[in-house]
Amino acid sequence: MKTFSEFNSALERWFEKTARELPWRETNDPYKIWVSEIMRHQTQIELVAKDFYPQFIAKFPDVKALAAAEWEDIHAVWSGLGFYDRARDMSRAAKIVTEEFGGKLPRDFTTLKTLPGIGSHTAAAILSLSQDSKMAVIDSNVSKILRSLWPDKPVFDSAKSLINSSSSGRMWNLAIADLADYLKKGEKIEGELGDLLPENIFVAAVSKRKKTSPKNKQRVVAVGVACIYKDGKYLIQSRPPGKSFPGSWEFPGGKKKEGEGFRDCVKREIKEELGIEISVEPFFHEIVCNFQSTQLRLRFHLAEIMNDEVPYPLEKQALQWAPTSDFDNIDFLKTNAGALVELKKMNNK
């Protein structure tokens, strides 16, 4: 069995050579670390680092700036990240911090956790990365590493022993997070650290996929989307309970059948979903999203209702007619972002 000091020494040397350069790692400002932690939840790190984090910090450089901001301004910068409740919680928390703590985030774990949107994981990350506190930041991926190395010990006991014997709480948390990310992607860990790690943490599943996937092409899912307009407004629908992202808004549409054209797909889907006949124009926007085994292709079409029919949703989800001026205040799915921009441009011509 590996000793904690042996693992820590190897981890630190590996991290010195491989540490990722990310903008929030260049600061010990608790506010900026808080922003990065909230943004990175269920979002690709590269996307946050390149676009959303720099834009947000430029617009709201500190807690007081965020507290003073209107929701419309926050939404405009956050738009595209999704999970808008996170941004609303940050706005609420910023106001509390400004009013009750003079614009400075609390420096103790218990008080931090009382703020909206900040749980144990986020509080530990803020304190560890901003003031080098030896508080382990444990997620499911880190847990897998620790459980594979010390299967007979509770994960949090292993983490506490490791971080307490490390040279820096901040460094240890950053290093173990990078290691988890590398392993999850199936990348080989070189050197003494790689020699200490079992081969079946994440690598086995990834290796198996790599051996079998080349013969299998990505499954393509094509979706036709209707941007139905009337009197300067567009018909949108909420995602119903039981589906992903319930309560978020989107333009109606659905999957294209094999051999079916996109415009015919849109007509059929709208008839099935909303019970109305529409005329459909050629697509004005397309987005392609690549996932591990699936490619999602969406085409957005302008459309108009024929015969003054009234749409009635089959799944009884909410409908509304929204002008482009309201788009920034509506929680749209991220896949709709590009189409929203194009529709605004059309409206301004």
Known catalytic residues?
Answer: 37
b/e per residue 42-65 (b: at least 16 CB within 10 A): ebeeeebbeebbeebbeebeebbe
Q: Which two tokens stand for residue 52?
A: 């959303």
Give CA–CA dist 237/305, Å, rounded. Answer: 16
3-state secondary structure at position 214: coil
Look at strands 249-250 and 294-305 and give their pairing.
unpaired
Residue 308 DSSP label:
T
Give CA–CA dist 330/225, Å, rounded. Answer: 18
Give CA–CA dist 37/47, Å, rounded. Answer: 13
Element (H, E) at 310: none
- Contact of 317 with 273, CB cutoff 8 Å: no
Q: Which two tokens stand for residue 3?
A: 């000793």
Give CA–CA dist 223/134, Å, rounded. Answer: 48
Residue with tokens 């490390």: 166
Q: Please give the single-letter amino acid code of residue 341.
A: V
Q: Which two tokens stand for residue 90?
A: 């940050």
Q: Which two tokens stand for residue 93?
A: 């928390």
- Contact of 276 with 268, CB cutoff 8 Å: no
